[in-house]
Amino acid sequence: MFNTETRGQVGIGTLIVFIAMVLVAAIAAGVLINTAGLLQAQAQQTGEETTAEVSDVAKIGEVIGYDTLSDSDGAITQINASLRLASGSDPIDLNQTSYTIESPSGSATVVNGNATANGELRYFQKQGFASDETEVVLKDQEDLAVVQMDLGNVTTGDSSGGLNGIEPLEESGVITLILQAPAGGQTYKELKTPRNIEDNSSYIL
């Protein structure tokens, strides 16, 4: 049988230590829960941004080059590129895209793909959606737009009238057109100009 006549006593110091341990454990648990929540939110945001960077892409289809000037000495002065959504891509606002043209004479970037902010860059509806100068959004896979880029103005002897200093594309030249979507996904298209370019003619690059 248990001896009920003898009882132990808990000192005030032991009680204080016990309470302190409970408080420390509660604070540590709160810190861990808060940290875990922050890490989860950051991981989710990183995953969404990474997925968008990979999947939210506008594809470059057929590219046609034009010699629009009669005295260009055989050079492509305008590029029309067809654009559509890649498979699985969310809608893309083309006014938020940027373009880079790498050519033998150098490279230049249209930092802002906004048609209203760049007189040398325009969008045209080709299939699927109604566009205007203020809103050009590829929403469905069937949507098809054409971006028109005017290159350097050879009539003045320089490229001041063209797209960020891009000079007209000469014969038998290899160029690269890069489209960057707002989320960061990039599309590359390598193009080659024909051996002979006649004035006021068009060519598939």
* 19 and 44 fall within a common domain: yes
* Count: domains in the chain: 2
Q: Which amino acid is at 174?
A: V
pLDDT tens for each residue of 117-171? 666 788 888 777 665 556 788 888 888 888 888 876 433 334 445 555 677 788 8
Domain limits at 21?
11-55
159 three-class SS: coil
Q: How far is residue 125's CA from residue 128's CA, in Å, rounded to a whole number?
A: 8
Q: 4 lies in a domain?
A: no
Answer yes or no: do 25 and 100 share one domain: no
The answer to whether residue 6 sits within a structural domain is: no
At 68-119, the pLDDT tens digits run 766 656 788 888 999 988 877 788 888 888 888 887 766 676 767 777 766 6
pLDDT of residue 92: 85
The confidence score (pLDDT) of residue 153 equals 46
E strands of the chain, at which residues? 58-66, 78-85, 92-93, 98-103, 106-110, 121-127, 137-138, 144-150, 174-180, 186-192, 202-204
Phi, psi of 187 (to 5 degrees): -125, 130
For 53, the enclosing helix (H) or strand (E) is helix 12-55
pLDDT value of residue 71 = 61
The model's pTM: 0.67
The reported pLDDT for the residue numbered 54 is 59
The pLDDT assigned to 159 comes to 41
pLDDT of residue 184: 76
Q: Are residues 25 and 120 in the same domain?
A: no
Could you tell me if 120 and 61 lie in one domain? Answer: yes
Are residues 70 and 35 part of one domain? no
Residues 80 and 62 in one domain: yes
Contact in structure between 83 and 136 (CB atoms under 8 Å): no
Whether 129 and 86 share a structural domain: yes
